[in-house]
């Protein structure tokens, strides 16, 4: 169930990566782990003993990220256990293939972090004909979660963490009359739709998990203003503004990973919570429980999007 008035259990404490408990024995899958927030999320979890699977579209970049994590661990004089899994969230065939491989390799999964995404892309479609941002950011993760969930459900303390964005508030709506933006296209609007969908999905998943009395919880996070490769499709008109404001508003991907890491590891986390930075406008700072839009808590919208997502992906959940 989604709540509007979550309390931060450590409101008087500025959470930092030093607060991440030992992750030894946990199996973690992180999508988009080869760069940016996903990379730092995966690295910190590996440094604390988790077996981390870097689920990436480009295996060459994935191998480079794995090598970076191993090298960084070597400088810390610690051993890490990191592997690769090919995953293209823009292809349901790839999602099914990756899920089959992960299910065969890992009888239990403790943590799934739905991190990968594309942002403000020119108009395009996925391999299955879905609008690129909605298909990748929402439908790909929806399908992956549904296909892996039965390997999380028996695991006490297991979590599904989905990364949303402040953009879920900006020009954001679920355009059921034109989900794939075939009649008109706004790269900003399409991104906002996909990020709102991430939250609607999280809250509906948590409702279903709670009704099933499952030990798994679904939570969400957003990085605030984070200076990563994700913004490479920023319209040119905004480039001068970004150059001026970036040092003030944006934090690096290492800090941008903090809300995800807290959502993934803090023992006090509850289902349907949403973590973001504690600074002005939630742009930067230490992670805390924040509020998402009223629209994201619309139960009818959550259920309607869920039904459409099942129909489009062909994936039904075990809860």
Q: Which residues contact 202 (CB under 8 A, 6 or more apart)?
A: 160, 162, 164, 218, 219, 220, 272, 274
CA atoms within 13 A on the CB side of 60: 0
Catalytic one of 39, 106, 185, 191: 191
Q: How far is CA 35 from the centre of its chain?
A: 13
Q: Which residues contact 314 (CB under 8 A, 6 or more apart)?
A: 92
Q: Which residues contact 283 (CB under 8 A, 6 or more apart)?
A: 166, 224, 225, 249, 250, 251, 277
Q: What's the burial of 240, exposed, middle or buried (CB within 10 Å: 0-12/13-18/19+)?
A: exposed
CA atoms within 13 A on the CB side of 53: 24
Active site residue 275: no
- Give the residue numbers annotated as catalytic, written as ranges: 191
């Amino acid at each position: 169930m989604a709540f509007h008035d979550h309390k931060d259990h450590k409101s008087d404490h500025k959470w930092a990566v030093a607060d991440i408990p030992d992750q030894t024995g946990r199996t973690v899958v992180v999508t988009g782990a080869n760069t940016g927030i996903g990379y730092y999320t995966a690295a910190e979890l590996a440094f604390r003993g988790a077996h981390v699977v870097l689920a990436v579209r480009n295996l060459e970049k994935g191998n480079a990220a794995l090598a970076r994590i191993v090298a960084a661990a070597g400088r810390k004089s610690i051993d890490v256990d990191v592997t690769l899994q090919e995953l293209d969230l823009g292809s349901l065939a790839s999602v099914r293939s990756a899920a089959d491989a992960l299910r065969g390799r890992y009888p239990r999964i403790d943590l799934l972090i739905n991190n990968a995404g594309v942002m403000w892309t020119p108009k395009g479609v996925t391999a299955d004909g879905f609008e690129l941002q909605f298909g990748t950011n929402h439908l790909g993760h929806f399908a992956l979660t549904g296909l892996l969930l039965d390997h999380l459900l028996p695991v006490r303390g297991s979590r599904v963490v989905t990364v949303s964005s402040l953009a879920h508030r900006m020009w954001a709506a679920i355009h059921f009359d034109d989900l794939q933006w075939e009649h008109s296209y706004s790269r900003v609007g399409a991104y906002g739709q996909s990020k709102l969908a991430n939250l609607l999905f999280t809250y509906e998943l948590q409702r279903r998990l709670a009704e099933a009395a499952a030990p798994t919880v679904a939570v969400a996070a957003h990085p605030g203003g984070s200076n990563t490769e994700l913004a490479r499709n920023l319209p040119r008109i905004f480039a001068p503004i970004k150059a001026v404001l970036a040092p003030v508003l944006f934090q690096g991907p290492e800090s941008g990973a903090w809300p995800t890491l807290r959502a993934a590891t803090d023992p006090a986390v509850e289902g349907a919570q949403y973590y973001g930075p504690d600074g002005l406008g939630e742009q930067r700072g230490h992670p805390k429980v924040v509020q998402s839009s009223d629209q994201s808590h619309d139960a009818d919208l959550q259920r309607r999007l869920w039904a459409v997502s099942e129909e489009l992906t062909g994936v039904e959940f075990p809860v």
